[in-house]
Amino acid sequence: MDSATASTTRPTRRGPDDASDAALEEGAVTGAPDTGDAAHPLTPEEQAEAPHTGSLARRMMLISAAWILVLLLGGGIALDRTLTNLVERNFDEQLEYVQTALLSSAEIGPDGEVLLYRALGDQRFLEPNSGVYWQISGEGHEPFPSRSLWDRSLQVQGDHIDDDPHYYDSNQFADEPLRVVERSVILPGSDTRWTFTVASARDELDAQITRIRSILFWSFVVLAVGLLVLAALQSYYGLRPLRRVRLAIQRIRSTGRNRVTDPLPLEVQPLVEELNALLEHSEKQAEEARTHAGNLAHALKTPLTVLTNAATAQSPDLSTAVMRETRTMQRHVDHHLARARAVGRRAVGHARTSVWQSAQAVQRAVERLYPDSRFDIDGNKEVEVAIERQDLDEILGNLIENAAKYGGGTVFVTIDAEPAVEACVIWVEDDGTGIPEDERDRIFDRGVRLDTGKPGTGLGLAIVRDVAEIYGGGVDLAESEDLGGLLVRLSLPRAGQV
């Protein structure tokens, strides 16, 4: 254990039961600053003007609309390309069928010209400008056209050889776009490579594609409207439980109900449970505030009565009574303010405080009050507890100063004395006479002092118990096996476990 020697100069104006005051004056205690008064609640006008992140229903609708648009647009384009290709392929197959029939009917005449030994069955090839045409062309030979071409001829792409059917679009005839298929073959009995060309106006093909696209467009419009209506209904009915929660909270505010008991979906139930837990916590804090306000009033009533009686009777020791009773009232006020600060800091969030650093700071302060005492601190130097530094200093200050005041001159502090338990346990031992077992529970009451021969108000252990319980800890008393005096067992939640 580390042994510390005391300073020879004792600072003045120290409270007999509060070593944390000494630590604050020394500058070693660096607890969290007091946050002051709680934030004022917002007025209805301020709540209406408070910033928000927008409507949840609108956000859901925008996401649904964007996703529906992407899916329908992508699906519409894919379906349009698929159906258009199917119609064009069917049209091309009909042209290829005519070209195959033309090839099978062609032969070479005596003069080397190509002839048809049988006419094609489609009568449109005999009607001028019917929109369906064929032509057989060969290098060094006049083109052999169908009668439907009349005085026109098809322009053949003769810059390449097409052993297989070659399809393309052509605008060689004004106001009559064509779909053309070509194929180059060498007929028996001829060395000429003949090009068999079959063409058809695209009017029918384009009309079919237009009809398909119109059907697709209006179908997808109806589908989009239906999906948007579905998304709107889903948003309305899906968010309806949240509106019910709002109405339930409104009823709590207007009718005095203290819980949300309406049956709600499973997804909203955790929110309701947290809300009910928050309401319960607020009720508990309000009840604590009322209790401590009453306790403070009761604690101040007796000193005020003493002062009133002394002043009324014009007591000769009035000044002494005023000083004594005002010190008592100051102690009561300090006790309740300490508890109020602890409650407020606990509500802000969980802190992380090193026990070793706090204990050393308190030790330096108490050494100046009790220079003849011996202080030893041992244990886990790395452990941290979920309590504000200022509150931990106040707790340890009261315990260590009481051990130095009522002990025989030796104080042992063991940090994390029981590492196997979840909480961080701190032992504060002294070599004094201890406290009888039947008095250990009563000693935590405000104003109770077993040794009235030494200065004090009996609030130190009460402050320790109250502040420790606020943070979820506790304190109990036992007999020290090593020193034979009092053993105070302080348990506080470890940082990160609350």
Q: pLDDT digit string (tens) for 271-329? A: 888 888 888 878 877 777 777 677 677 667 777 887 888 788 877 888 887 887 787 77
* Residue carrying structure tokens 């005519």: 98
pLDDT at 450: 46
Q: Which residues contact 58 (CB under 8 A, 6 or more apart)?
A: none
State the average pLDDT over residues 351-358.
Answer: 90
Other C-beta atoms closer than 10 Å to the C-beta of 380 total 14
| Same fold: 76-208 with 350-498 | no
How high does pLDDT run on average in the chain? 79
Alpha helices in 313-422 (DSSP H): 318-348, 355-369, 389-406
- Return the domain boundaries, the chain: 76-208, 261-347, 350-498
Predicted pLDDT of residue 346: 56
Q: What pLDDT does residue 49 have?
A: 58
CATH number for the segment(s) 76-208: 3.30.450
Mean pLDDT lowest among 67-76, 176-185, 346-355, 461-470: 346-355
| pLDDT score of 358 | 93
**Looking at the chain, how many residues does it have?**
498
More confident of the two residues 4 and 460: 460
Rg of the Cα atoms in the chain: 49
In this predicted model, what pLDDT tens digit does every residue of 75-98 receive, in sequence order?
A: 999 999 999 999 999 999 999 999
For residue 221, give both structure tokens: 């419009």
What is the band of 208 on the pLDDT scale with cuts at 50, 70, 90? very high
Residue 423: CB atoms within 10 A of its CB come to 18
According to CATH, the superfamily of the domain at 350-498 is Histidine kinase-like ATPase, C-terminal domain (3.30.565.10)
Q: What is the pTM of this model?
A: 0.48
Tens of pLDDT, residues 6-44: 333 333 333 334 444 444 344 433 333 344 444 445 555
Q: Does residue 338 carry a pLDDT above 80?
A: no
Pick the more confident residue, 157 or 276.
Answer: 276
Q: Per-residue confidence at 383, pLDDT binned at 50, 70, 90?
A: very high
Considering only residues 462 and 377, tell me which one the structure prediction assigns the higher pLDDT. Answer: 377
- Give the CA dihedral 322, 323, 326, 332, nearest 10 degrees: -140
